[in-house]
Structure 1
Amino acid sequence: MAFQDRSLTCVDCGQQFTFTAGEQEFYAQKGFMNEPKRCKGCKAVRKGGGGHGGPRQEYEVVCSACGQPTSVPFKPILDKPVFCKPCFVAKRAGG
């Protein structure tokens, strides 16, 4: 089957994006039945903000080791220790 680039409209932002022949071939190989509905930018935002989608959520915490304020990219769990980057690296290196 010969695939050709197709222009699609993003359901979120309404912008046109290209569903390339290579992407169509990949979808067919994986058995995907539906074509993409979102452009790459809107897909990244929907997945959680990494990459081109913008900044990820940061949570302000106090390091359990040194007591300094820091931020982490995950929601802390109350009974689990949270470390700043230097303390985390030192703890990981120390075993």
Structure 2
Amino acid sequence: MEYTDRVLKCVDCGEEFVFTAGEQLFFHGKQFQNDPKRCKPCKSKRSNGAAARVRSETRTSCSQCGSETTVPFRPTQGRPVLCRSCFQTVRV
């Protein structure tokens, strides 16, 4: 099977990039079913964690001491939420 260079569009930045014949041969050898979706710069940014999702902080009050604190999750009703210091005491 002969491969020729193809131009694809990156899903992250929208720029066009070349999917070379050598890369296509590699993909075929590894039995990959899908073409690459990202250009090399976007792929390296993604693997380095630059595109990591930002966690939202929720402001709430500690169930044990009552002080106001932030937590990296949305509290579930009926379950206690602890500030850092109370969490450390319960954890130990």
TM-score class normalised by the smaller sequence: 0.5 to 0.7
What is the aligned partner in structure 2 of residue 52 from structure 1?
Answer: 50
Structure 1: any 5+ residue segments left out of the alignment?
1-6, 45-50
Is 1:73 the counterpart of 2:72? The answer is yes
How far the C-alpha of 1:35 sits from its partner, in A, is 4.1
| Distance verdict in 2 for CA 1:9–1:81, change over 3 Å | same
What TM-score comes out, normalization by structure 2 length? 0.55
- Give CA-to-partner distance per residue, 1:71-90, whole Å, 9 cap, x none: 11111001100011111111
- Give CA-to-partner distance per residue, 1:36-91, whole Å, 9 cap, x none: 424344x58xxxxxx43353111111011111111111110011000111111111
Larger helix fraction of residues:
1
CA distance in 1, matches of 2:81, 2:55: 18
What is the aligned partner in structure 2 of residue 12 from structure 1?
Answer: 12
Structure 2: any 5+ residue segments left out of the alignment?
1-6
Q: Percent identity over the alignment? A: 46
CA distance in 2, matches of 1:73, 1:14: 32
CA distance in 1, matches of 2:57, 2:8: 34
Indicate the structure (1 or 2) with the bigger Cα radius of gyration: 2
Number of positions where the alignment pairs a residue of Structure 1 with one of Structure 2: 72
How far the C-alpha of 1:15 sits from its partner, in A, is 4.7
What is the aligned partner in structure 2 of residue 62 from structure 1?
Answer: 61
